[in-house]
Amino acid sequence: MDLSGPPISLRPEATQAVSLALHELTTNALKHGALSVEEGRLSIAWSYVTPGESLSLEWQEYGGPPITGEPERHGFGTVLLRQVVESQLGGTLDLLWPPDGLFCQLSIPGDTWQASGVTEIPAMSVIKPPVQLPAHVGRRVLVVEDEALTAMALQQLLEDAGYIVLGPVGRVEDALDLLRSGPPDAAILDVNLFGATVDPVAAVLKGMGVPFLFCTGYHSGATAGALHPEAPVLGKPVNANNLLNAVSGLIAQPAAG
């Protein structure tokens, strides 16, 4: 993998959206593109002309399975990419399918990033080997999240890791309805659901002996975290490996007795 570009930082409100876009491109490359074969290569380059204007990022794959042109049908991944880049960030997205490999150019507005006060990170610290995770293929994880893009990203991440996702649902009553069909193996809970607290869902899970964690923008999980201090709290935007490690840890822990 080749990375090149000047030091920049994303503003907090844009971090999650850009992470989702890059995660989707990476997943596609691993499944169908250059990263699905040993000889494949990936180049990611970002640049800008003037601070405060648009940031351009170019994603180029090489050496993967031959491409015969634009797919006849665009799936969930392409829809998610456009939703994140164009609707959420207010940017532009161009996808091309030359024979050598997928080329993607995305541009995001100047109010989503900054160059001032950013120092360059040594190249060796940018890419780390993936975390080895215990396998829990087929285990069921309830996802309760009211932000659609976050819920879709969580679902895809968990399913790619072999879990069966219950939901996602974004309202307390929908989560309680799912739990009436039986306990899951673990649960991921947003704290605030359209203005309502997730406390009733957490209470039912605790009564069932189901371990859960909070994935939230609230510090320490707010009141829900205080009521359930045993539950891990992951701050948004959450790192994919951290989330998978946390879910794996929940399932691996002894059943509540």
Q: Domain range for residue 7?
A: 2-125
Whether residue 148 sits in one domain with residue 91: no
CA 134, CA 111: separation in Å to the nearest integer? 40
Question: Does residue 132 fall inside a structural domain?
Answer: no
Q: Sign of dihedral through CA atoms 20, 22, 23, 25?
A: positive
Q: Residue 123: what pLDDT?
A: 43
Q: Residue 237: what pLDDT?
A: 75
Instruction: Give the three-class secondary structure for 178.
Output: helix
| Contact criterion met (CB below 8 Å) for 242 and 131 | no
Q: Residue 222: what pLDDT?
A: 63
Q: Residue 250: what pLDDT?
A: 93
The 8-class DSSP code of residue 72 comes to S
Whether residue 48 sits in one domain with residue 22: yes
Q: Residue 135: what pLDDT?
A: 55
Encoded amino acid at 93, one letter: L
Mean pLDDT by 10 residues, the chain (257 residues): 87 82 87 89 92 92 89 78 87 92 94 74 41 66 88 86 91 94 95 88 95 82 75 85 91 68
CA 154, CA 165: separation in Å to the nearest integer? 9
CATH code of the domain covering residue 248: 3.40.50.2300
Question: Does residue 99 fall inside a structural domain?
Answer: yes
Instruction: Give the three-class secondary structure for 64.
Output: coil
Question: Does residue 133 fall inside a structural domain?
Answer: no
CA 60, CA 34: separation in Å to the nearest integer? 9
